[in-house]
């Protein structure tokens, strides 16, 4: 079951349905009406084919409903209201495809640690006129990432990886999902928040040398914090943020922001999920403060200084 039928939920659920899996969507309001009336409309960016997928849609999750996996595809600030509903349901595997730098205690307290599977989607896009325009991130940049809280490579994790790979999503298993998600927010916090600092989109940011420089100062600060605090940088390839000279990093980011890729995976999400970006940035800053670190450069990005 897909709990949340936005871009991510629609993309993952739709592609799994195309593989012959029995997929149910939980949707509300206009999205519920769109799916009921028109079916699930998927179009991969750069492709002409529009796929119309007939799916089962429900407005509520019943206590007696039993699914092999529930994929929670919500924004960070929306999860708290979903936990009581999920807690009453008996399904055993709850896959949280959610930005989360704050750790898993809220989820495990509500559901039990044995039911929680942290994950993050390697996909992005937008919904226009009921059509989900999506793209899948390459394995080199960021595959869909899953893992047990304990780090164990369990049978359900291997099954889940196979399920996602067969649906066309490059998928990796992380031994330390908590560090992976903290590393992810250390990156996407400044990269998303710079859109607001600039007041435009990814293309205007690419032309704003001051904004790019401030973003990279915050990125370097965030990654140095992860390294010094003992949390660690996962995957290790992101250590390049620390060691790349600022002038070169500025050039790399100006070029990266001036692309359709940045529009799809950075700008679209930032402009449509400001509440989530604010929530995860503040959570990351609070976590750093608790560990004795004040991230002054990152605070400038989120307008706290």
Q: Render pLDDT for 221-252 as a digit per residue (tens, 0 to 9).
A: 999 999 999 999 999 999 999 999 999 999 99
- Mean pLDDT (whole number) for 145-167: 98
The first and second tokens of residue 166, run together, are 């067969």
Distances (CA, A) of 97 to 149, 167, 250, 298: 14, 16, 30, 25
Q: What is the pTM of this model?
A: 0.94
3-state helix, strand, coil in the chain (%, to 5): 55, 15, 30
- Contact yes or no for 132/10 (Cβ under 8 A): yes
Task: Report the helix count and the strand count for the chain, using DSSP H and E.
Answer: 14, 12
- Mean pLDDT (whole number) for 32-51: 94
The first and second tokens of residue 4, run together, are 């949340």
C-alpha span between 161 and 215 (Å, rounded): 34
C-alpha span between 303 and 288 (Å, rounded): 17
Q: Which helix (H) or strand (E) holds 203?
A: helix 202-207
Sheet of 40-44: strand order equals 51-53, 40-44, 131-136, 123-128
pLDDT of residue 305: 57
pLDDT of residue 174: 97
Does residue 225 sit in helix, strand or coil? helix
- Mean pLDDT (whole number) for 159-173: 98
- Contact yes or no for 51/74 (Cβ under 8 A): no
Q: Render pLDDT for 183-216 as a digit per residue (tens, 0 to 9).
A: 999 999 999 999 999 999 999 999 999 999 999 9
pLDDT of residue 303: 82
pLDDT reading at 289 higher than 70: yes
Q: Render pLDDT for 72-87 as a digit per residue (tens, 0 to 9).
A: 999 999 999 999 999 9
Distances (CA, A) of 48 to 17, 43, 51, 147, 167: 20, 7, 10, 35, 19
- State the chain's mean pLDDT as an integer: 96
C-alpha span between 292 and 290 (Å, rounded): 5
pLDDT of residue 92: 97
């Amino acid at each position: 079951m897909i709990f949340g039928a936005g871009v991510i939920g629609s993309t993952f659920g739709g592609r799994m349905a195309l593989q012959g899996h029995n997929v149910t969507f939980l949707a509300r309001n206009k999205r519920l009406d769109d799916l009921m009336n028109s079916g699930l409309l998927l179009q991969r960016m750069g492709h002409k084919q529009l796929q119309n997928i007939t799916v089962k849609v429900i407005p509520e999750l019943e206590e007696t409903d039993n699914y092999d996996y529930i994929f929670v595809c919500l924004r960070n600030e929306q999860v708290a209201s979903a936990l009581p509903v999920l807690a009453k349901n008996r399904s055993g595997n709850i896959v949280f495809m959610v930005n989360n730098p704050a750790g898993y205690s809220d989820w495990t307290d509500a559901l039990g640690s044995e039911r929680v599977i942290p994950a993050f989607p390697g996909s992005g896009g937008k919904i226009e006129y009921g059509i989900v325009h999506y793209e899948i991130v390459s394995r080199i940049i960021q595959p869909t990432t899953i893992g047990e809280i304990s780090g164990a490579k369990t049978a359900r994790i291997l099954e889940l990886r196979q399920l996602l790979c067969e649906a066309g999503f490059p998928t990796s298993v992380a031994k330390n999902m908590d560090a992976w998600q903290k590393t992810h927010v250390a990156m996407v916090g400044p990269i998303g928040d710079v859109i607001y600092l600039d007041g435009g989109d990814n293309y205007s940011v690419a032309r704003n040398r001051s904004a790019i420089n401030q973003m990279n100062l915050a990125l370097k600060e965030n990654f140095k914090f992860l390294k010094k605090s003992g949390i660690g940088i996962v995957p290790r390839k992101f250590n390049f943020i620390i060691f790349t000279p600022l002038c070169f990093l500025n050039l790399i980011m100006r070029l990266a922001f001036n692309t359709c890729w940045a529009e799809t995976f950075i700008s679209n999400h930032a402009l449509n999920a400001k509440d989530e970006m604010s929530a995860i940035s503040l959570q990351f800053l609070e976590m750093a403060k608790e560990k004795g670190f004040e991230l002054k450069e990152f605070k400038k990005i989120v307008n706290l200084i």
